[in-house]
Every structure is written in C-alpha cells, then in structure tokens.
Amino acid sequence: MTVTRNRSYFIVGVLICLLGSICFSSKAIFVKVAYRDTPVDAVTLLALRMLFSLPFFVLSAVYSSRKTDNVKFTTKQWFSIALIGCLGYYISSLLDFLGLQYVSAGIERLVLFIYPTLVLLMSSIIFKVKISTRQWLALLVTYGGLCVAFSGEMNMIENKTDFYKGVALIFVCAITFAIYIVGSGRLIPGIGSSKFNSYAMSFAGIAVLIHFFVSSDKSLLHLPTMVYMYSLLMAVFATIIPTYMVAEGIKRIGSDNAAIVGSIGPVSTIVQAYFILQEPIHALQLVGTALILIGVLIISKK
C-alpha cells in the first residue's frame, strides 16, 4: 500500500511539473498574441501582468511571514531579496517582453532555455566551481544547437537587424535571470523557497509598476478590453499558477526530475506557436531544439 501511495505521489508530482512547465511556456504566446491583436507596448503589457499578479504574491508573502516557524529577515536579506527579485523578474521580464517584439516565440524560448549554461559559467568564474569535461561538452552541444536553430530561422526572415536586436535583448535577459538563479541559490536555504519567491515577485511587481508610471504617459484604466483579457490570462495561467505548481512538483519529485520534466518548455512553446501564431516549424529548428535540450539536461542534472 505504501509503495502504491508513493508511486501515485510521484506520478502526480510529474504531472504537476509537466502542466506547470507548459503554463510557463505559454507566456511568450500570450505576449505575441497581445502584440498581434492589440496596440499595447511592452512596458504597459508587463505592468498589467504584474498588476494582476501582485495581490497574490503579496498575500502569499504575508501568509508565509505569519507562520509559527517564520524567521524574520535581516536588513541585508531585505536588500538582497529586493535586488535579486527585481533583477530576475523586473529587468529580465522587461528585456524578454521587448525582445519578443522582434523574434518568434520559439526562438525566444530556446534562447532563454540556455540560462543553466550561464549559471554554470558564472559559478565557475565567481565561486571557482570546476567545470567537468562532460559539462564543457554539454556547453558545446547547447550552443551548437542554438546556432543550428538560428540558421534555420535566418532563412525565413527578411529583417535580420530586428532579429539580431531581439536575440540580443533575450540573451541579456537570460544572463540577468542566470544571475537571479545564482543569487537566489545563496538566499533560499536560509529563507525558504516559497517565502523567497513571494517577496521577490512582490518587489519585482512594485518595480515594474514604478517603471511604468515614471516612463509612460499612458493610463492603465482606458485600454482595449482585449489587452486586459490577455494580461489577466497571462498573469493567472503563465505566472501565478505555474509558480506554485512547479514548487509543489519539485517538493514531490525533486529538482533533478523537475528539470527533466521542465525540458518540455521549449517544445511546448514551439507547438503552441505553430497552432496559435502560425509560426512555421522547420527541420533545423527541431534539430537545434534537440541539441539544446540534451546539453541543458546534462548541465542541469546536478
């Protein structure tokens, strides 16, 4: 009976991780559809996403702080969480939304998915973590796959300048998110993942809204109905729900298995982009995707 229960617990964890990863991967689809169907700009769309998401993360932060085993933050921890949260979910999201104006959803997800390789390189440079021969090989496979996917995409676009601009923005986004992962890895053991995530997302949401009100002369109150609809759907199904689904999945099956299940993300984005955005799927993109998944999974296993 115990074995059956444990097996069911694990299988449910896999399914939760799978659905969470698919929901996360839909973010690029929501952004591209919003750009296609409405006149919304990147900063406004990001502000609305955070506006709809923020109440949930603030409530979660308050709830986690009221637990009996709660440990109060030090001044240094407050500063570090605010800094890391804004870097990972404000700066990174802004760069991502801007980059999606110029590249396909499939390419965006492939570029973002290389962030574990950047985490590995940063850990080697900053913390002197030795990179094994197998990991160096995985790096070559990953970036080789990215080049293959790019070559297939380049044959199908006319404005190569915009393409390079979009890729550059999303690559910098991957760098800032990798810094977030490295930084959060130092903070979470002493804070807890749920509490850290709630506060980090809350700080990022506030930063996004401040950015909007300082930089934009538009109002969030008089936009087309479709803008609100896409923003709300993105906040619920591509931000709030998958955040907690993946956290619960990791709790059930472990981070190694969650990383393997999460590799469905780029494939899910490519498939969704094909059916929803009519983005073509070509052979070189599939080959490049396979190589990137192999390289990232080798690096992420530890």
Measured CA to CA, the distance from residue 220 to residue 201 in angstroms comes to 20
pLDDT at 255: 65
Tokens of 282: 């070509």
Phi then psi for 71, rounded to 5 degrees?
-115, 125
The alpha carbon dihedral of 51, 53, 57, 58 has a sign of positive
CB 269 within 8 A of CB 29: yes
Tokens of 226: 């479709």
Residue-wise over 161-200: b if at least 16 C-beta within 10 A, else e?
Answer: eebebbbebbbbbbbbbbbbbbbbeebeeebbebbbbbbb
Task: List the domain boundaries for the chain.
Answer: 2-300
pLDDT in tens, the chain (302 residues): 565 667 888 888 889 989 988 998 999 999 999 999 999 999 999 999 999 999 999 998 888 888 776 778 889 999 999 999 999 899 999 999 999 999 999 999 999 988 888 988 888 888 888 888 888 999 999 999 999 998 888 877 878 899 999 999 999 999 999 898 888 888 888 887 778 888 999 999 999 999 999 998 888 988 999 999 999 999 999 998 988 888 788 778 876 677 778 888 888 999 999 999 999 888 888 999 999 989 888 887 65
Burial class of residue 23 (count of CB atoms within 10 Å of its CB; 0-12, 13-18, 19+) = buried
